[in-house]
Amino acid sequence: MRRPEEVFVLVRRGNQFLVLHRSPRQGSYWHCVAGALEPGEDFGEAAVRELREETGLDAQAVDLDRTIVYSLADEPERLPHYAPGTTEVVVHTFLAEAPPGWEPTLDWEHDEYRWSTAGEAADLLYWPEPAAVLREVAG
């Protein structure tokens, strides 16, 4: 069973943010680095692992102290992945800095990426809550 806890990681390179396009198998929408916690893992460890797995970036993930909670009622197709009675997923948000000139190496979950200004990146994101976090971080 999947844990009802996830991470969302913004990647910033200078004044640009990385936006990833999820492959058709993963829903075909724009998002950032994200994923569920594995057994025995805390949020910070998951953020660093997901960052490395999805982009190849080995960097510190700074906790933004912002939490998103979403209802599984909005995504009933995901219910079988969780323990019976699970109704929501808690997402902790992080920020990672990429060095100048760095480019991601995408895993199977993604088929495209873009570096965008905060406004452009937020407009691309499918889910409004991560877009709001991005806009808040960009100030």
Q: What is the pTM of this model?
A: 0.93
**Structural domains for the chain:** 5-138 (3.90.79.10)
- pLDDT at position 126, please? 92
The pLDDT score that the predictor gives to residue 79 is 75
Structure tokens at 40: 């025995």
Over range 95-107, report the average pLDDT: 97
Distance between CA atoms of 130 and 132, rounded to whole angstroms?
Answer: 5
Amino acid letter, residue 123: D
Residue 77 binned pLDDT confidence (cut-offs 50, 70, 90): confident
Q: Give pLDDT tens digits for 2-44.
A: 889 999 999 999 999 999 999 998 889 999 999 999 999 999 9
Say what the pLDDT of residue 73 is.
84
pLDDT range class, residue 78, cuts 50, 70, 90 = confident
pLDDT value for 81? 83
Alpha carbon of 48 to those of 23, 75, 135: distances in Å? 21, 26, 22
Q: Is 90 exceeded by the pLDDT of residue 123?
A: yes
pLDDT at 76 over 90: no
Range 44-54 average pLDDT: 98
Pairing of strands 88-97, 5-13: parallel
